[in-house]
Amino acid sequence: MLALKIWCHINKELDPPRGITCRSLLRPFCRDSHDWTTASFFSQRSYAVQADLETNIAPTFTNLPTTKSYVDKTPATTIMAVSVTDDNTGDLASLSTAIVTHSDKFDIASNSITTKASWTWAVGTYDVIVVVTDQCGNSATSTATIIIENSAPDISSLPSSSDLSEEVTSETNLKDLTVTDMQTYTCAINDVTPASGSANSSLSRRQGLQVYDINQRGPQQ
């Protein structure tokens, strides 16, 4: 990285340590040349150019790698804000970040990792590699591991009670199950209490729907 200053003296022998800075770069640069035509013109002055060379190193992440876990029920819009830094202070304003992997699912803007609206929140582990680059092309990568865990389905219509006459011999609907889950689910009867008796319980799925009915048939006459 190169930083330049022009020192000037009026009708005197040039002495940079005590000179007046007539023109300097606002910040270090990484180019092979710099346009000085915007500088003011002064006559009867002596000039010298001071070049300060500084080793340019790659930027770094201050909060990566890390792991973020979520349940599949609540899609997250913003995953996290990425923090980056650079020992070369002249590079700080130019640091840029981008996503290398899973860019079809996640995006990054203003150093904030977000989920894309076009992606369906799905169970899995996603190693999102992020790269930070400075104005000189030096870069570093790190990983944000995003884990979306499969949560258990929720039955909101139970517990419940229903009455069935002992005179009923045909199959009768006792309850419709209300189940919510982000994944495909199936339902089954786990146990019946009391286990003795002549009534039969069953669970049926409605044709073409993810809806289950609890049915019971009374004792046969």
Binned average pLDDT, 10 residues per bin, the chain of 221 residues: 52 47 55 60 59 81 97 87 94 95 97 94 95 94 96 83 72 78 78 66 60 60 48
Q: Are residues 67 and 142 in the same domain?
A: yes
Q: Are residues 143 and 166 in the same domain?
A: no
Check residue 19 and give its pLDDT. Answer: 47
- Of the candidates 97, 122, 149, which is a domain's last residue? 149
- Of the candidates 53, 68, 92, which is a domain's last residue? 53
CATH code, domain with 92:
2.60.40.60
Q: Are residues 127 and 74 in the same domain?
A: yes
**Amino acid in position 79:** I
Alpha carbon distance 39, 5 (integer Å): 12
CA distance readout (Å), 69 to 76, 102, 123, 127: 10, 16, 11, 12
* SS3 at position 18: helix
According to DSSP, the residues that pair with 5 across neighbouring strands are 24, 50
Check residue 177 and give its pLDDT. Answer: 80
For residue 190, what are the contacts with CB-CB under 8 A and spacing of at least 6?
A: none
Check residue 14 and give its pLDDT. Answer: 45
Alpha carbon distance 129, 143 (integer Å): 4
* SS3 at position 46: strand
Alpha carbon distance 169, 219 (integer Å): 6
Domain range for 202 is 152-221
Q: Are residues 80 and 143 in the same domain?
A: yes
- pTM of the shown model: 0.64
- Of the candidates 35, 53, 71, which is a domain's last residue? 53
Q: Are residues 46 and 67 in the same domain?
A: no
